[in-house]
Amino acid sequence: MQHVSPVREPLVTGGKTYHDITEDVCRQVEAKPNVRWAAALAVSLVGLAIFIYSVYRTLWFGIGEWGLNKTVGWAWDITNFVWWVGIGHAGTLISAVLLLFRQKWRSSINRAAEAMTIFAVICAAMFPVLHMGRPWLAYWVLPLPNTFGSLWVNFNSPLLWDVFAISTYFSVSLVFWYIGLIPDFATIRDRATGPIARRAYAILSMNWTGSAKAWSRYETVSLILAGVATPLVLSVHTIVSMDFATSVIPGWHTTIFPPYFVAGAIFSGFAMVLTLMIITRKTFKLEDYITMEHIESMNKVIITTGSIVGVAYTTEFFIAWYSGVEYEAYAFINRATGPYWWAYWSMMTCNVITPQLFWIRKIRRSVTATFIISIFVNIGMWFERFVIIVTSLHRDYLPSSWAMFSPSIIDIGVYVGTIGLFFTLFFLFCKFFPVVNMAEVKAILKSSSEVTHHHSPASGMHGTAKGSNTNTHHSNE
Amino acid sequence: MVVQSVLSATINYKLLKVFEFSRYNMQDRIKYWKGIEELENTPEFAKHAHNEFPEFLPLNESKSEGSSSGASVTNTKRRDFLKLLGFSVAAVSLASCEAPVRKAIPYLNKPVDLEPGVANWYASTYYSQGDYSSILIKTREGRPIKIEPNPTSTLTPLGTSPKTQASVLGVYDNNRLRTPLIKGKEAEWEQVDSQITSALNSVNGKVAFVSTTIISPSTKKLINEFGGRFGNFEHVVYDPYSVSALLNANGGVVPGYDFSKANIIVGINADFLGAWIASTPIAKQYIQNRKVSSDNREMSRHYQFETRLSMTGANADVRVPIRPSQEATFVAALYNSITGQGSNAPEGIDKKAFDAAVRDLRANRGRVLVVSGSNNPAVQTLVTAINQTLGAEGTTIDPASPYYVKQGNDAQMIRLIEEMNAGTVGAVFFYNANPAYDHPLAARVASGLKKVGLKVSFAERVDETAALVDFVTPDNNYLESWNDHEPKRGYLSLTQPALSPIFMTRQMQDSLLAWSGSNTTYYDYLRNNWRPLATGDFNTFWEQSVHDGVLENGASLLAVNTAVINPMSVGAALSAASSSSATSGVEAVIYEKSQIGPGNDINNPWLQETPDPISKATWGNYIAMPRSMAESDELKVVQGDIVRVTLANGTALELPALIQPGQASGTIAIALGYGRDLESMPVAKGLGANAYPLITVSDNALIYSVPVKIEKTDANSPIAQTQTHHTVMDRIVVQENTLAKYKEDPKDVTEYVRIATHDGPAKPATISMWDDYEYKDHHWGMVIDLNSCIGCGACTVSCNIENNIPVVGKAEVLNRREMHWMRIDRYYSSVEHKEGEYSKMEDPADNPAVIFQPMLCQHCNHAPCETVCPVAATMHSSEGINQMAYNRCVGTRYCANNCPYKVRRFNWFAYFDNEKFATQNYMMNSDLGQMVLNPDVVVRARGVMEKCSFCVQRVQLGKLEAKRERRRPKDGEIITACAQSCPTEAIIFGDMLDPESRISKVLVKEQGERAFHVLEEINTQPNVTYLTKIRNLA
């Protein structure tokens, strides 16, 4: 049924039909858990258990369980926080920005990317709460009317801006993701055989009917949410960067931070999407949907953003010298040559040098190479935040207070634990939710591949999607 | 507001404590009964007295009812069960929501002079192992909680030593004995008295009373009277850190040094600002001649020739490292140069510095002072001769008023130890003496004690000596005692009790009186002894003396035993000194840490956690060695590697190495006081190693330096330092300049950062995006004179006590989590380097210049911490204080990260009611220890940020008192704990809005001269101002 365009690379390969798409995507949801999935989930659950234990130690005994000290008040906690938030950015970028830019190739990866966003933000949100000395009072950072007297939050504090940024980001991402899931839930509902599954997916699909009106609203809401989410791609990490940029600490007090952080976030997010996608397409045999074109496109984003952060790193050094501020100059010399030089050079290697390999088409189109480099980028971006936070703090103004930071076992446990949490959520998502947006992939099946397509590009893929879904045989499949 | 509510909560809590307090001494005290049942002590009550809930729970009753009445049994049980279940669930869930309520119990009959919430002050005196302070004891609801200097005293009106500050805790030490002991078993005083009295009646052989230096005239008299009835009695005095040679060369007394009159001071291995002798009065004198202003541009010049880098050496203008074996030849050369018999610097000593010292000494005849800490009689004889030659007598040394703070005689003690071993001693008493630990012949003491019939120790706890004696008759803590003191001839002071004895202890003097068969108390004895001093009515005189704490009309009571003095002739000394040869191997010096002293206060966690002024190490001793030695091919150690030190006689100890800049090459230094292994000193247990066995006995004198062999071991033990980076990295966070430059132009000694603007360079504070705060009533500020700070750390200890700052223990200090609000940063100068050569900047010079900088919250007017707190838990007061609302803090630590001065401290754990900190931080973890807490300051919860508050509780109190009298607070009325305890007046606190205040005047005067703010360029606009240090370089 699929027609292959002589000019454009098809976005879905393998000669899929609408029904094939439904079958391929619903297979994992409907089939019995496969062994590889179960094994992966088991490993993740071990990670989750580590997380629970480490959090218990932190909450029960105090932050002293971590390796922090009088000089380095933040280390792995905020490093992990920024890292996870950054990872989340790719999901929003793919689903919102690429939607607005009508990048149709996004359709087959946006679902998983958005899920990744949600889970990454959940992991990220753990840290601002956990790192508090008294997390049971975390609600005090919300501007709630209260009976404590005239107590109000401090709107000058970047941490408060974080609270708003992260909570907005999370709620918008969640709604966006969920709206996108509704038609696919309906498909699963309609195919479900068991009563529990039918009932559950009925509730999840919010009684989606698939009527033209519903589709019209769906499209409108998607566009609106895309519009709302787009500025968030820029704002969230901008605000996160202000935690550092508005401070007085050399190495933190840097005006370049907002764009540099946003670029870094997209960079790390795409790397994480690649890591996950490569595993998912392999595990669930979705190579026809998540194609080499996807991988290559994302690799191009990585090389772009990787170069941007490379320029940012260099600019920081230049400004440190050019400003003539001795503290600033020392902070950067200390990064590169001080006791944490290994962290700095790990960051430089992973973030600036390795992505440059993607200039080579062969590497860019190699799944294995991409997977390895994506892991490098993930590591590099973690080190970037570690370098910014720890190497700036550990030697700031007064040499008398200079100190080293080394993580405790609990520090490591919380970090490894959030990875466990993330993958637990992700694997549950893979099993119970459609990992590829069936409705939208069906829409691009023709628009991207048919030679004799009559729709003008301006009407967009959603126009096509509606058209294709008028086919009664395939509605809601 | 916040402060007040916190106050009232803590006061309530502490009132409760007062009543708990009464549990400790039930016998002689008023007893509070729970109810009429307890008073009558019915059998019913006695049976259930130990149950928390003396009444029966209904469950049991219904059971017994049920069993008697057939059918209703099950019904009743089920219902009751459900009732109880419901009640328990409700109770448990309620209990889990609410913290238990701890009720405050008001006084039924209020003691007359005790006002809840209002402190009472008692003048008293602290003396321990040479460390003397006339003090005021602050008590709250009957509990001593703080020690301040007694301004009435002319010897120590300004501040106290760290040891004095921390001594308030001694009375609340759980490890003190609660009853006397007979052969290790608890006993009654009656038993002890009858057994000792009968033993004394049949004593065979010498009766010896061993003590460290006693400066109490009445006690000394009493001891002699007690001994009078025995045919063969000797009061043996020794000092763990002996100055026997100094006494020998000066007629049995420490010369009446007056450092304030000396233009040139030469110290030779004499840590006179540290632990050597009476550091507090000496520090006051020393600094008097070193304070400068544009009106007085003169200051003394201090040369220090020493082996280890001492706190005194760190303050010297010229410091020259010398090896211990060079000391004698050096002093001989100095003597020869002064007397004109040749002027060659001995080999291996910086000739330039030596010549400069000689030149200065000769040029300032009559205004010089040479002091030596050596215990070599030849050296001390020559030093005395040098002082005499230079006319120090009568000016910088007051012959009429020597110090009595050390009187120990090495030979006498050594002789007694031999006599004990020979079996000729029949009875021995130990008072403030622990020779089984703190004497190099400790093993001989232990073996000798086996041959002594009657052995009595007055130790407050089972120390090393008390563990070997038959009777331990615990002395009162000094806060529970009456006593008198004469630290310097003509300067009398009194100790008065600030509380009744907590345990069943008895003052040593009362014990002696009891064993002499006397009915008088020591209080009456003391009064009688003072009777001749009275002019006019004795009671009035006595009341006034007790009130003032001091009597300084020139009257003297103390008699010093000079019979044992055996002076040496200068000629003999000179030939002995000149002929001594330098050792080529490694030499060790054994010294006292200024906070730990000889180790008698080793169980005091405040002292343990106060960093050493120089090494900044806490919790234990170590082997200080120069870098050249550590890196030498034979040793190759890094800091923390354990090194074995062996004497020629085989004595050895193992301690971690600490790289100490300024340590003379080829030498090591080891501090005394550690290596304790007794249950009665849990705080010190297992810390460091005992260095007393390294002290050698030669010619009946204790020698504190010895040739040793050192070798590396495979083990490693990290040293808990509070500062691990030692150089200032060419930053202008701390400023210093030379006196020459200051004399030339006082406006040219301080570097001021200027910001480039369109209108030229501008003061950072003038460029601001925000409006400044407007201060209407007060604007509190602080000035810290770096020229006056000697780095002793009294402020740190004082702050810890005043503000209930937890002690966190060695492991947490190693984690860099000590909680000190006030710290003293110590910077060494770097090795020679080019500008921007960071790797070299990090290395301290081999003989570095040292500068101290007290660092505390700077109370910035544009505080980086205030803007970043998401919940506004830290904010600016209307009086310029940056304040913390602890109960609002959620603990993000953003404020601490953003503090450029890194003065904020986070409660990583709960430090109170926490088993993990029970030993080290017993002030917050035991009922007894908690009594030392300041009820005006809340104990911070886990997860909360804390920092210096400018002692806001004192500010509030001062303002309230002034308000009650309808006036403004007077300058000097409100003073922070750190400023009050500073023995050199380096810290001035006051209202910067009051143009007449001292601080305002200093600020006006020093503006543009020595006044600077740390990190002025980041425009934090601190309310703490520093004054540039001036060095009088030769």
pLDDT tens for residues B861-876? 999 999 999 999 999 9
* Cα–Cα–Cα angle for B379, B382, B384, rounded to 5 degrees: 110
B833/A contact by beta carbon, under 8 A: no
Domain ranges in chain B?
245-389, 580-712, 736-857+948-1031
Compute the distance between CA of residue B197 and CA of residue A373 in angstroms, rounded to an integer.
89
Mean pLDDT across chain A: 85
Q: Output the pLDDT for position B241.
A: 92
| Residue among B902, B908, B943 minimizing CB distance to A398 | B902
Closest-approach residue (CA) in chain A for B896 = A73
Compute the distance between CA of residue A36 and CA of residue A43 in angstroms, rounded to an integer.
11
Q: Output the pLDDT for position A465.
A: 38
Coil/strand/helix, residue B945:
strand
DSSP conformational letter for B403: B
Chain B interface test: which of A249, A401, A406 (most B C-beta within 10 Å): A401
Instruction: Give the C-alpha distances (Å, rounded to integers) separating B615 from B202, B267, B303, B734.
Output: 53, 20, 21, 19
Average pLDDT over residues B309-327: 92
Superfamily of domain A18-139+152-469: Formate dehydrogenase/DMSO reductase domain (1.20.1630.10)
Compute the distance between CA of residue B702 and CA of residue B440 in angstroms, rounded to an integer.
8
- B 903-942: CB under 8 A from A: 904-910, 941-942
Contact A151 B888 (CB under 8 A): yes
Question: Is residue A60 pLDDT above 80, yes or no?
Answer: yes
Coil/strand/helix, residue B610:
coil
Compute the distance between CA of residue B327 and CA of residue B332 in angstroms, rounded to an integer.
9
- What is the value of ipTM here, to two decimals? 0.89
- DSSP β-bridge partners for residue B721: B617
Closest-approach residue (CA) in chain B for A140 = B871
- The pLDDT-based confidence of A367 (bands split at 50, 70, 90) is very high
Compute the distance between CA of residue A452 and CA of residue B869 in angstroms, rounded to an integer.
62
The fold for domain B580-712 equals Barwin-like endoglucanases (2.40.40)
Residue with tokens 């001793």: B621
- The pLDDT-based confidence of B822 (bands split at 50, 70, 90) is very high
What value does the CA radius of gyration of chain A take, rounded to a whole number of Å?
23
Which residue type is seen at B828?
A: Y
Contact A140 B733 (CB under 8 A): no
| Residue among A70, A74, A400 minimizing CB distance to B825 | A400
* Burial of residue A105 (number of CB atoms within 10 Å: 0-12, 13-18, 19+): buried
- The pLDDT-based confidence of B436 (bands split at 50, 70, 90) is very high
The predicted-structure confidence for B901-935, as pLDDT tens digits, reads as follows 999 999 999 999 999 999 999 999 999 999 999 99
Please tell us whether the domain made up of B736-857+948-1031 is placed in CATH 3.40.980.10.
no
| Residue among A133, A248, A403 minimizing CB distance to B890 | A133
Contact list, A157 vs chain B (CB under 8 Å): 867-870, 894
- What's the residue count for chain B? 1034
The predicted-structure confidence for A109-122, as pLDDT tens digits, reads as follows 788 888 888 999 99
Question: Is residue B743 pLDDT above 70, yes or no?
Answer: yes
Q: Contact, B327 vs B376, CB < 8 A?
A: yes
| Residue among A70, A247, A401 minimizing CB distance to B864 | A247
Q: Which residue has the higher pLDDT, A227 or A445?
A: A227
For residues B451-472, one letter each, b for 16 or more C-beta atoms within 10 angstroms of the residue's C-beta and e for the rest, the string is ebebbbbbbbbbbbbbbbbbbb
Q: Output the pLDDT for position A157.
A: 92
Contact list, A62 vs chain B (CB under 8 Å): 907-910, 942-943
Phi, psi at B257, each rounded to 5°: -55, 140
**Stretch among A121-125, A140-144, B617-621, B686-690 having the lowest mean pLDDT:** A140-144
> Which among A396, A260, A408 is positioned nearest to A338, based on CA atoms?
A396
DSSP conformational letter for B807: P
- The pLDDT-based confidence of A475 (bands split at 50, 70, 90) is very low
Compute the distance between CA of residue A422 and CA of residue B570 in angstroms, rounded to an integer.
84
The predicted-structure confidence for B224-240, as pLDDT tens digits, reads as follows 999 988 889 999 999 99
| Residue among B869, B871, B896 minimizing CB distance to A73 | B896
% of chain A at pLDDT higher than 70: 90
Contacts A–B by Cβ distance under 8 A: 169
Report CA torsion sign: B291, B293, B296, B300.
Answer: positive
Q: Contact, B964 vs B912, CB < 8 A?
A: no
DSSP conformational letter for B951: S
Contact B897 A248 (CB under 8 A): no
Contact B910 A62 (CB under 8 A): yes
Closest-approach residue (CA) in chain B for A389 = B897
- The pLDDT-based confidence of B23 (bands split at 50, 70, 90) is very low
Chain A interface test: which of B815, B850, B913 (most A C-beta within 10 Å): B815
Superfamily of domain B245-389: Dimethylsulfoxide Reductase, domain 2 (3.40.228.10)
- The pLDDT-based confidence of A107 (bands split at 50, 70, 90) is confident
* Burial of residue B92 (number of CB atoms within 10 Å: 0-12, 13-18, 19+): exposed
Compute the distance between CA of residue B552 and CA of residue B134 in angstroms, rounded to an integer.
12
- B 204-223: CB under 8 A from A: none
Contact list, A130 vs chain B (CB under 8 Å): none
Q: Output the pLDDT for position B75.
A: 54
Which residue type is seen at A333?
A: I
Instruction: Write the CB contacts of B21 (distance below 8 Å, at least 6 apart in sequence).
Output: B142, B143, B502, B931
Question: Is residue B889 pLDDT above 90, yes or no?
Answer: yes
Closest-approach residue (CA) in chain A for B732 = A398
CA distance B839 to chain A (A): 9
| Residue among A69, A153, A248 minimizing CB distance to B870 | A153
Contact A140 B888 (CB under 8 A): yes
Question: Is residue B13 pLDDT above 90, yes or no?
Answer: no
The predicted-structure confidence for B335-357, as pLDDT tens digits, reads as follows 988 888 776 777 788 889 999 99
Number of neighbours of residue B183 by Cβ within 10 angstroms: 9
The predicted-structure confidence for B43-81, as pLDDT tens digits, reads as follows 666 666 666 555 555 544 444 444 444 444 445 677 788
Compute the distance between CA of residue B245 and CA of residue B408 in angstroms, rounded to an integer.
10
Q: Output the pLDDT for position A470.
A: 39
Average pLDDT over residues B447-467: 92
Contact list, A249 vs chain B (CB under 8 Å): 897-898, 900
CB-facing half-sphere around the CA of B864: CA atoms within 13 A: 26
| Residue among A159, A246, A404 minimizing CB distance to B892 | A159
Average pLDDT over residues A197-222: 90
Domain ranges in chain A?
18-139+152-469
Average pLDDT over residues A287-292: 82
The predicted-structure confidence for B579-634, as pLDDT tens digits, reads as follows 777 778 899 999 999 889 898 889 999 999 999 999 999 999 999 999 999 999 88
Q: Output the pLDDT for position A61.
A: 93
Average pLDDT over residues B544-562: 87
Instruction: Give the C-alpha distances (Å, rounded to integers) separating A227 from A93, A116, A231.
Output: 11, 20, 7
Contact B909 A138 (CB under 8 A): no
Average pLDDT over residues B19-32: 49
| Residue among A131, A326, A403 minimizing CB distance to B731 | A326
For chain B, what is the total number of helices (H) and then of strands (E)? 33, 41
B896/A contact by beta carbon, under 8 A: yes
% of chain B at pLDDT higher than 70: 91
Q: Output the pLDDT for position A8.
A: 62
Question: Is residue B7 pLDDT above 60, yes or no?
Answer: no
Contact B893 A74 (CB under 8 A): yes
Question: Is residue B135 pLDDT above 50, yes or no?
Answer: yes
